[in-house]
Amino acid sequence: MAVGMLLDHLARNWGWIVLRGFAAILLGVLAFAWPGLTLAALVLVWGIYALSDGVLALVAAFRIKDAGKPMWPMIVVGLIGIGAGIATLMWPGMTALILLACIAVWAVAIGIFQIVASIRLRAVIANEWLMGFSGLLSIAFGLLMLARPGAGALAVISIIAGYAIVFGLALVMLGFRLKSVAAGLPKSA
């Protein structure tokens, strides 16, 4: 499929990207609002977020077509998110280090796939750097979490909150940029 058709699908489904961004921003705001959350509450909040983000990514993957097929990077991101969310909710007693490792691996995987998608779109959309930037943020966040796993749960909540808000804002900005692209597209039958 031509990159133009991929852009067409992305632009027509811009709302799913914005919804993912708002979910990330909500996670960040909640984490900043209640910094004294216990680890159990952090596990629950993150598990719900990862699960919902995974579901939204899968919906987007099947609505946004690439050569008439669902976007495989988004399917992978969705499945990773759903798997991480389910595992987190099924075993809420896992230690902070295991939770941080799950979050870190998830963030690195999402970052890689977002950078791949931004490279694919660079020739047909202005400001595709927003998707690449959110991918770089995800990778940096994940690597930081892997390098310093014992930093402490309260410090990590602030990192998670800041990351979630910046990541969410980048997705919302990208989504609204795609909305403006969609406005210029001919109506489909």
pLDDT in tens, the chain (189 residues): 566 777 777 787 888 889 989 988 998 898 888 766 555 677 787 888 889 999 988 888 888 776 677 778 888 889 998 998 898 888 876 655 777 787 788 889 989 988 988 888 777 777 778 888 888 988 998 888 888 766 555 667 787 788 889 999 998 998 898 888 888 777 764
Residue 188: DSSP 8-state: P
- 188 located within any domain: no
Q: Structural domain tally of the chain?
A: 1
Other CB atoms within 10 Å distance of the CB of residue 77: 27
What range defines the domain where residue 107 resides?
3-183
Q: Where are the alpha helices (DSSP H) in the chain?
A: 3-12, 14-33, 39-63, 72-90, 96-121, 129-147, 153-183
- 108 located within any domain: yes
- 43 located within any domain: yes
